[in-house]
Structure 1
Amino acid sequence: MSQGPGLGTAGAAGRGLMAVEDALQRLLAAAEPLTEQETVATEAAVGRVLARDVVAALDVPGFDNSQMDGYAVRCAEVAAALAAGQALPVALRVAAGQAAGELPPGAVARVFTGAPLPVGADAVVMQEEATPVADATAADRAPASLGWVRFASVPAPGQWVRRRGEDVRAETIVLSAGRRLTAADAGLAASIGCATLPVRRRLRVALASTGDELIQPGELPPERLPPGAIYNSNRFFLEPLLRRLECEVTVLPRVADTREATEAAIAQAALAHDVIITTGGVSVGEADHVRPVVRALGGLDLWQIAMKPGKPFAHGWIERARLGGSGRCHVIGLPGNPVSSFVTYALLARPFLLRLAGAAVEPTLPPAWPMVAHFDWPQADRRREFLRVRCNSVGGLDVFPNQSSSVLTSVAWADGLVDKPAGTTIAHGDVVRYLPLSALLD
């Protein structure tokens, strides 16, 4: 990756735009986490934010047990029997869920996966490495048994044994408060006996699309669209992305491009929601009313980010006291162009929402993967660019040829973004910073 002539990251800052990392840190600093919590069934807690530490009340496993179907043995006795060419008697049969008892001297126990290890045993030999013997010789005779078995080698102490507490120790923190719970977390919680988990309540988010040109899919067929009209695509990716964060989403009717309609929609939504997310109306046109309304009803914290796509991103708040309520409602203004809306949601709005919901969020973008560009991008922009790319079959990255902020096809096609610093170009073979969409959205 090479530097363009006379361009650098300072160029964007000099034009009054805020750097992406600065915007993210500022957003997260403004996101005071919710304090309300509720208790939900463990299986229903996936995707929610844990409100309190989960501490184990027991060891997991709670006893030494077998990792394999086979035989629980004393290693020294196997060594002695092998040296003498003798079989060993099977004195016990222990399945998972049964009490094991004590292993008699000079004998082995038939055990199955998950079965408790009999007292005295110090290893397990898997059944594939043992040979049952139908008739024992006189030298093999021993007290009553469940058969006989020969071994070809001596196991090491602890072989195929799960030790008590090797997964979880009692009185340790298993899951920390602020963690956004995964399916594996739910299983882990269940393994220590948690039928329910304490979680933060869901964020209440209002989603507002602004613009006289917007038509709801299904409202009119394509052949009947008025001149200048477009279908509202932003709502159809933002709503499921918000629900993926376990937000309670209210989709507002389309907001007309007037100051009065914008103020009425925002004021009403502010009284019942934690966050209002708008698309469109945050640029500098005469029909862009979101910013002046937010300023009038509360305050504007940031606007215009040194990134492409997504420059006209805004964050502010509504003071509910001005509307007869109490507290604040945050407002996130996403750009109207769908690619800009998608990218700024992934890089900025999503971390903000997670922090507001109580999740522990680092004030940085996810770690980028170094990958090789299989394309040329000779244009050097004054802003930091996020190019839509896709991994190819030979381990490199292809770029979508049309990077316009209105071309939603580029996002549907891509599996990640190349984070291209301001003032740089890309030549085929350069190592670039790749951000997988899965890391940004999942």
Structure 2
Amino acid sequence: MSEVLSCFDPAANPQRMLPVDESIQRILSQVMAITDTERLALPAALDRVLAEDLISPINVPQQTNSAMDGYAVCAAGLNPQQPLHIVGSAYAGSAFNGILQAGEAVEIMTGAPLPQGADTILIKEVCQREGNSLSFTGPVQPGQHVRQAGEDIAAGSLALSQGSRLRPQELGLIASLGHTEVAVYRRLRVAIFSTGDEVVAQGQPLTENCIYDTNRFTLQGMLQRLGCEVIDLGIIEDSQPAMETALSAAAGQADAVISSGGVSMGNADYIKSALEQVGEINFWRIAMRPGRPLAFGQLLNRTPFFGLPGNPVAVMVTFSQFVQPALRKMMGSGDWQPVRVSAVAEEAIRSRAGRTDYSRGIYRIDEQGQLQVRTTGSQGSGILTSMTAANCLIEIGDDKAALEAGDRVLIQPFPDLL
């Protein structure tokens, strides 16, 4: 028995329906992060995964400075009844070179270094200036409106951890350290293909009993948004030799391979027999809807393979729940988890105990600030409009037979992939 099959032990109970969480953990245990890296200029590193810990070489901010426009003073001994004498000014990019004495103030702009002897900022709104005489109103808290050197990032501290996904805010943080480029993991290369003699390419006549291919396009979109390079192998005919050729070719040029269709164990589904020749495979029945059939394994060179269902909605749901976590781990961000938030069901929602349901939903904030969610309507796994109308998945756990209006439920707001 092969290593992968031995680990999964499908022969123990081939009819067993695996829970979603167990299936995800089985997949994650079998995929490894890539190690190849490259250095990119910051603008080119958006949405890439950091390949090294970044230690700050400087304090950010570099010097203690003013957070507001106003006047720098020493808080000790301040008295609103006694005007202060203005002895100079400090602007961003320059400094007041003297030492502030008791009873003195320095006009200061946001970002300007705090003068020596000062510890507090009086904002302009509470001050009144007449020539070089300054009066103010209201209480004063020592240290108010002052940003300390290194308060954001201290020199020598960890600024960003390896595995961080570089969003615009991370790029700004890296730039604040003075870096112009950064080490990231290379992009994953993912091969995709559709199966089924009933699947027709766009631009071809749509004959009776056939459908246009949709899954390759949704997979391409999600993979591109994930930051992968996509190798599109097109539509593969329903024959074992064609499947073996496609799988062998994909394994030679990709880090992962994804197919859609052909995993229902029907008489014309050749993926299983083809995979037995070019790799190791496990067919599962997942306790979920949509997307119960799922194939996972490894090709001969240990390239992970995901065999997704053929129905369009099931492809997107299984990709988001199973393929996405695996690819993110392979990209170097292995601690990724989908965002889940609690909402109130606006209507009764059908489900069934013993399986996890992913209904397509629309969430909103009501007048009381409460997160509410309802379904998009019909939830068939072939109804693509249920995805185009949705902004979330409603996740109904396997411990619930149904939801009633007013019940709380977890939702997964659509991430950047959908």
TM-score over 0.5 (shorter chain): yes
- Tell me: higher relative CO, structure 1 or 2? Use CA pairs within 8 A at least 6 residues apart: 1
Paired with 2:221 and 2:76, the residues of 1 have a C-alpha distance of 61
Q: 2:348 aligns with which of 369, 376, 390?
A: 376
Q: Deviations for 1:40-73, whole angstroms, at most 9, x for unmatched residues?
A: 1122222111111000111111111011111111
Structure 1: 5+ residue stretches without partners: 1-12, 135-146, 321-327
Paired with 2:148 and 2:88, the residues of 1 have a C-alpha distance of 20
Name which of structure 1's ranges 16-25 and 286-295 shifts more when overlaid on structure 2. Answer: 286-295
Contact preservation (8 Å) 2:193, 2:236: yes
Equivalent residue, structure 1, for 2:317: 343
Q: 2:123 aligns with which of 120, 123, 126?
A: 126
Instruction: Verify: 1:281 aligned to 2:266, yes or no.
Output: no
The equivalences for 1:137-286 within 5 A come to 147-217=132-202, 219-220=203-204, 224-286=205-267
Change (3 A) 1:28 1:379: closer
Equivalent residue, structure 1, for 2:32: 32
- 1:430 deviates by 1.8
Paired with 1:253 and 1:63, the residues of 2 have a C-alpha distance of 58
Instruction: Verify: 1:307 aligned to 2:307, yes or no.
Output: no
- 1:101 partner letter: N
Q: 2:113 aligns with which of 106, 109, 116?
A: 116
Paired with 1:377 and 1:169, the residues of 2 have a C-alpha distance of 51
Paired with 1:288 and 1:302, the residues of 2 have a C-alpha distance of 12
Change (3 A) 1:379 1:62: closer
Paired with 1:415 and 1:225, the residues of 2 have a C-alpha distance of 31
> What SS does the corresponding residue of 1:304 show, helix, strand or coil?
strand
- 1:15 deviates by 4.0
Name which of structure 1's ranges 384-393 and 246-255 shifts more when overlaid on structure 2. Answer: 384-393
Contact preservation (8 Å) 2:346, 2:406: yes
Contact preservation (8 Å) 1:78, 1:154: no
Q: Deviations for 1:251-274, whole angstroms, at most 9, x for unmatched residues?
A: 112111111211111111110111
Cα root mean square deviation, aligned: 2.0
Paired with 1:420 and 1:78, the residues of 2 have a C-alpha distance of 61
Query: Counting helix residues as a fraction of each chain, which structure ranks higher?
Result: 1
- 2:182 partner letter: L
> What SS does the corresponding residue of 2:162 show, helix, strand or coil?
coil
- 1:165 deviates by 0.9
- 2:107 partner letter: R
Length-normalised TM-score, structure 1: 0.86
Equivalent residue, structure 1, for 2:56: 56
Contact preservation (8 Å) 2:325, 2:334: no
Change (3 A) 1:313 1:67: same
Change (3 A) 1:302 1:92: farther
Q: Deviations for 1:63-92, whole angstroms, at most 9, x for unmatched residues?
A: 11011111111223532xx334xx322211
Q: Deviations for 1:134-192, whole angstroms, at most 9, x for unmatched residues?
A: 4xxxxxxxxxxxx3322224522111100111100111111111122221111111111
Equivalent residue, structure 2, for 1:91: 87
- 2:173 partner letter: L
Change (3 A) 1:104 1:437: closer
Change (3 A) 1:373 1:60: same
Equivalent residue, structure 1, for 2:363: 391
Q: Deviations for 1:9-66, whole angstroms, at most 9, x for unmatched residues?
A: xxxx994121111110011111111111111112222211111100011111111101
**Identity within the alignment, %:** 35
Paired with 1:167 and 1:311, the residues of 2 have a C-alpha distance of 48
Paired with 1:300 and 1:284, the residues of 2 have a C-alpha distance of 13
Q: 1:410 aligns with which of 359, 367, 386?
A: 386
Equivalent residue, structure 2, for 1:101: 97
Length-normalised TM-score, structure 2: 0.90
Paired with 1:262 and 1:239, the residues of 2 have a C-alpha distance of 20
Paired with 1:54 and 1:250, the residues of 2 have a C-alpha distance of 32
Contact preservation (8 Å) 2:351, 2:396: no
Larger CA Rg, structure 1 vs 2: 1
Paired with 2:360 and 2:170, the residues of 1 have a C-alpha distance of 32
Equivalent residue, structure 2, for 1:420: 396
> What SS does the corresponding residue of 1:313 show, helix, strand or coil?
strand
Contact preservation (8 Å) 1:369, 1:433: yes
Structure 2: 5+ residue stretches without partners: 1-12
Contact preservation (8 Å) 1:75, 1:154: no
- 1:392 deviates by 4.3
Paired with 1:424 and 1:202, the residues of 2 have a C-alpha distance of 42
